[in-house]
Structure 1
Amino acid sequence: MLRKNLLLTLAAAGAVVTMLACGAGSGDTSSSVTGGDAKPVESAAPEKTTAVAKIGQTVTLNNDGLGENDIVEITVTNAKQHTKEPGSFGSKPERGVFLVLDVTVVCKQGTYHANPYNFKFVAKDGTVSDGAFATFKPELHATDLSAGQKVAGKIVFDVSKAALTGGRIQVDGIGLDYDKPAAYWAL
C-alpha cells in the first residue's frame, strides 16, 4: 500500500511539473498602449491581446500570474538609421543599416529584468532579427528593476533598408510569458 501511495504521489507531482513546464497557468501577461491610438491585435489565445503602438508611445505590461503582480511601462522612441557605428573603428552593418532606438523602462510595481535582448526587430514578412553587436551610447544594459526604478538606453538592430518598411519592434512578455511577444511598436 505504501508503494502504491508513493507511485500516486510521484505521478501527481510529475503532472504538476509538466503543467508548469508546458505553460499551464501562464498567459497572464497583458499589454496596453498610452499616448495615442492603441491597436490591440488578437494573439494565439482569444482572450489575450498584443498591443501595437507607434514609436514614441508607452506600452504597459502587466504580469499577475503565480502570485506575481508586476507592472512595467516601456517607451520606444527616436528610430534612426546609421551606416556606421560611432568611433574611429566603427563597424558597418552587414545587412544594410543600423536601426537605433531609445528605450525607457519604468517599473511601476513588482520587479522587472530590463534587457536589450527582450527586444527584436520583426520585418513585414515575419523575419525576426535580434539586436546587433554595435555600440551606440548610452546603451541599454541588462538591469534588475524594483518598483519606482527606471533605466534608459539605446538598442540596435542590423537590418536591410527594405525590411524597415512595415517593420516593428517587439518586446517579449514578462513572467511565464517571457518567450512570447507582449507588444509591438510600428516603425
Structure 2
Amino acid sequence: MRKIHLAGLAALTVFSLACGAGSGNTGSSVTGGDGKSVEAAAPQESTAVAKVGQTVTLTRDGLGDKTVVDVTVTNAQQSTKEPGDYGSKPEHGVFLALDVTVVCKEGTYDANPFNFKFVAKDGTVSEGAFASGFKPALHATDLSAGQKVAGKIVFDVPQAAIAGGRIQIDGIGLDYDKPAAYWAL
C-alpha cells in the first residue's frame, strides 16, 4: 500500500511541475516609437507601466510555446454620449474610448476587448462598457504570428476617476487573470 501512495505522490508531483511550467507572470516591457526600451518593470515587479501612445510587448514562454505580442493603446477620448443619433449616455459619468492595436509577433494570441480593464487611482476596477456607437470596435480575434487587429475599447467611468487612472491588460495563457501591463492616462 505504501508503494502505491509513493507512486501516486510522485505522479502528482510530476503533474504539478508540468502544469506549473506554463504558469508564472507574463513578461512585459514598454517601447517608444523608435523601438528602444523606455521603461521596464522594476525587478520585483513584472508589470510594465507605459504612457498612452507607447507600445507594450507581452512575452510568454511556457512549455515550449512562446508568444510575443505588441499592444499599443492610443487616443484616449472622453464622451458624455455615444456617437450617432441614438447614442446612449454613460451610467457612471463619461465614456472613455481608446484605440488599441494588437500585433502578434510570435506564437498565437487571443486579442479580446475583455483583456482590458480600467483601474482608478483608488484601485476600483471597471470592465469594458457595451457602447456600440464607438467604431470600429475591437472584436475578439485569434491572431497568429504576423497578424494584427485594431479597434476601440470603451469604459463607462466617473470622470473624476480618470485622473490617475490606468488601462490594464491581462496576461497571456494561464496568466489571463493577472495584470501584465498598464497604460497611465
Is TM > 0.5 for Structure 1 vs Structure 2?
A: yes
Other-structure match for 2:38:
38
Aligned counterparts of 1:38 and 1:125: Cα–Cα separation in 2: 26
Aligned counterparts of 1:25 and 1:111: Cα–Cα separation in 2: 15
Following superposition, the deviation at residue 9 of structure 1 comes to 3.3
Following superposition, the deviation at residue 18 of structure 1 comes to 5.0
Aligned counterparts of 1:9 and 1:87: Cα–Cα separation in 2: 65
Other-structure match for 1:80:
77
Root-mean-square deviation (Å): 2.1
Say whether the 8 Å CA contact 2:100–2:138 is kept in structure 1.
Answer: yes
Match of 1:96 among 86, 93, 96: 93
Aligned counterparts of 1:183 and 1:159: Cα–Cα separation in 2: 20
Percentage of matched positions with identical amino acids: 71
Match of 1:108 among 105, 109, 118: 105
Other-structure match for 1:169:
167
Instruction: Compare 86-95 and 53-62 and name the one that shifted more.
Output: 86-95
The alignment's TM-score, normalised by the length of structure 2, stands at 0.88
Note the residue ranges of structure 2 that are not aligned, 5 or more in a row. none
Aligned counterparts of 2:15 and 2:85: Cα–Cα separation in 1: 53
Following superposition, the deviation at residue 10 of structure 1 comes to 3.1
The alignment's TM-score, normalised by the length of structure 1, stands at 0.87
Aligned counterparts of 1:125 and 1:16: Cα–Cα separation in 2: 41
Is residue 2:176 matched to residue 1:178? yes
Aligned counterparts of 1:79 and 1:16: Cα–Cα separation in 2: 47
Following superposition, the deviation at residue 111 of structure 1 comes to 0.5
Say whether the 8 Å CA contact 2:168–2:179 is kept in structure 1.
Answer: yes
Say whether the 8 Å CA contact 1:38–1:52 is kept in structure 2.
Answer: no
Note the residue ranges of structure 1 that are not aligned, 5 or more in a row. none
- Secondary structure class of the residue paired with 1:69: strand
